Structure 1
Amino acid sequence: MFLITELMRGDTLQKYLWSIRRKHLDLRLSISFALDISRAMEYLHDNGIIHRDLKPSNLLLTEDQKHVKVGDFGLARERIMGDMTCECGTYRWMAPELFSKEALQIGVKKYYNHKVDVYSFSMVLWELLTNEALFKGKDSISVAYAAVANNERPSLENIPKDIAPFLQSCWAEDPNIRPEFKQITEYLTNFHQSLLPKPMTPPKLMQIEEPESSIGQELTSNDHNHIMAKKSEEKPRKRRSFSSCFLNCFNDS
């Protein structure tokens, strides 16, 4: 058995962000990348699959570095109604419900659902918008504990105001408040379209209505006879030639 997959020559999203660090991605490109991820996750969830390890190092770029595809399904599993393995994924991108404040025995499971992927997506989106490291200066265990015990989240200081409330809803502590990826795709599509330059519309041509007049209207026989009679009454005017006027000037002198 062989599994043939597409060769993604653009490397991982994480390495790409590292290569341009201290510079921000163009906002339209950031949202375009987020849209690619959201559509892929929408497809997974529609087919009953939870990724459980969504992060920049598991997102692959096309060769032209214009599109992102979701990879690495090593921790993915089918959605079930019962409990699943807890603390599954990578700490900085893991949803709070995957942790426990108390120490758990090995093999203990917890209940959570597909909304853990939405939380991880919010962390990735924050990185796309800021190109900064998540919880910089903290080790992974400290980040996990802070997210659970103190409900800490990344700073919104450099996040566009129009998208900040949406981002907060995606990383909400309560999974029920987090949107579905179908809603995320719809929101990001509209937001992305609002960033595109609006096409110029040519000015409308104004139609000028010509005033009604007797010109062009049919004349009755009486009207025609009246006009011809009036013309015959007019005496032709004498036209003085240029030469006579010119010579009269000398005669006067």
Structure 2
Amino acid sequence: MIIALVFVLIGALLLLIIGASILQQQKARAEALRRTELARQRAIIDETENVLSNTGLLPCSNSIITVLYKRMEDALTSAATLANGQKNDYERRLFDLRGQIDTLTNTPKTDPSIELFRLPDNDRQILTLVQTLKKMKAILRSEHNKGRVNPAVFSQEEQRIDSLQLRINVESMLARGRAACFMKQYGSAKQMVTKALTTLHTIKAQTPNDPFIAKKVDEAKKMLEEIAGAQKKAQPQVPEPKADEDDIDVLFQPKRKW
């Protein structure tokens, strides 16, 4: 009887140990999932803040800024529920962000003209703009797929981003063409401007009434003419061959006596 009781106690103890181990594993798994999800929300917050910090360099509308704010609000809300020690920090940032959203909502809607956009002279800033627009477009599509962006707003903002990307791409190619021509690298200059012109013709077939495209097509054609003229002037002058009559005169001229 005592032996049986001992076995029962041992079995109960083993079950208790196994149960505690399972609970510990589940707790560790839940903690790992919490940390992973918190890290994902932090990445969303950092990415969105980075894009927002560069919107001052671009003619961004209130609509796309609102999309970015709403994305960050959702990420901060999730992070606040997942965080332990930093919960107050996320809640404070969330409070400030909601104040900015309210201010933007009460501000009259504005759509800055893309025509006024000018490409920066600094290559680092140009690279920043290219990266910002790429991230902004990915965020816009992601939020639209989640049903958080009105289809009309999505279509309008995606078109604005595409137009800005086109302008940066074309302006960059033409600027590099000018620089190559200035350095008398006429082959590279011609190649770059021709590439820009090909891109412009492709887009012009899709949007024939875009004034930017028409203007840049004329500018690219003029640049090609200037490059061809400069290249022609830079070529060495080849002496013209003498006439046949001169060769005959040389042949029959009086021989010198040495």
The TM-score normalised by the length of structure 2 is 0.22
From the two aligned structures, give the one with the greater strand fraction.
Answer: 1
Structure possessing the higher relative contact order (Cα contacts under 8 Å, 6 or more residues apart)? 1
From the two aligned structures, give the one with the greater helix fraction.
Answer: 2
Larger Rg: 1
